[in-house]
Amino acid sequence: QSISSIEHLSNEIFYEIFNYFDGSELVKTFSNLNFRFEQFLHSLSLLIKTHFYLFYYEEMMNTDNELEMFSTKLWSNLKILSIHCSQNIIFLDAHRWEKLILHCYPQLEKFYFTFYDRINNNNQYEIYSRQINQFSSLFWIERKCQFFIKIDNINIKYMIYPYKKTWYDDFQDKNIVYSTATTLMLTNSLTFSYDAILFEKINRILTITQIYH
């Protein structure tokens, strides 16, 4: 009865409603209802602006399943994908994203990725046991992606963005291009009390990637 009632709404109203959902919410709410809603999810205008948020919830320990579900639902014509995630170090596995993009999104043109690295209740970071510099592989270079790291107060953010020309491009080694030139950014004024925290975070970062700028 509820599905039949909302089907009387025009397409324009549905598009307005969809503006209040992120990508994963759209898939969860409207997929597998009927043919009309499947067509909405196929809409290029929706797919181009899709953002997917994988924030940590205590009741959702295995977010791998959510990501897999989302990827298989959003078909191969996705153009832009933005992913924000935290708390689970597995999301820093660049090979995982390479496989996802190659198999699920062959037409992807832009990939935005942010991982929030935070200490746990024991004041420790989750152990990173994978190979360093994963986001500096040929895969990311060919797609003109850059790897950025930002230390913002107590948080560390690892980010992948499409390449943009920077002030140091005219000075850096021409053999260092795109994602191989990992950049570290600081957004806090350095004080004596902050020094120890800063060096701790830099040591953490160096277990994951080298820093060039």
In a domain, 58, yes or no: yes
Question: Which residue has tokens 């021409």?
Answer: 174
* Residue 132 structural domain: 50-206
Alpha helices for 19-116 (secondary structure H) = 23-30, 35-42, 44-48, 63-73, 94-104
In a domain, 140, yes or no: yes
In a domain, 28, yes or no: no
pLDDT mean over 182-194: 67
In a domain, 14, yes or no: no
Phi, psi of 188 (to 5 degrees): -135, 140
Residue 108 pLDDT? 87
Share of the chain above pLDDT 70, in %: 62
- Amino acid, single-letter form, for residue 58: E
pLDDT mean over 86-112: 86
Residue 53 pLDDT class (50, 70, 90 cuts): low
Residue 60 pLDDT class (50, 70, 90 cuts): very low
In DSSP terms, 195 is beta-bridged to: none
Residue 159 pLDDT? 92
Query: Which range among 36-40, 45-49, 188-192 has the greatest average pLDDT?
Result: 36-40
In a domain, 1, yes or no: no
In a domain, 84, yes or no: yes
- Please count the structural domains in the chain: 1
Alpha-carbon distance values, 40 to 32, 43, 46 (Å):
11, 5, 8
Within 57-177, strands assigned E span 80-86, 110-117, 145-152, 155-162
Residue 169 has pLDDT above 50, yes or no: yes
In a domain, 4, yes or no: no
In a domain, 110, yes or no: yes
Residue 29 has pLDDT above 80, yes or no: no
Residue 139 pLDDT? 93
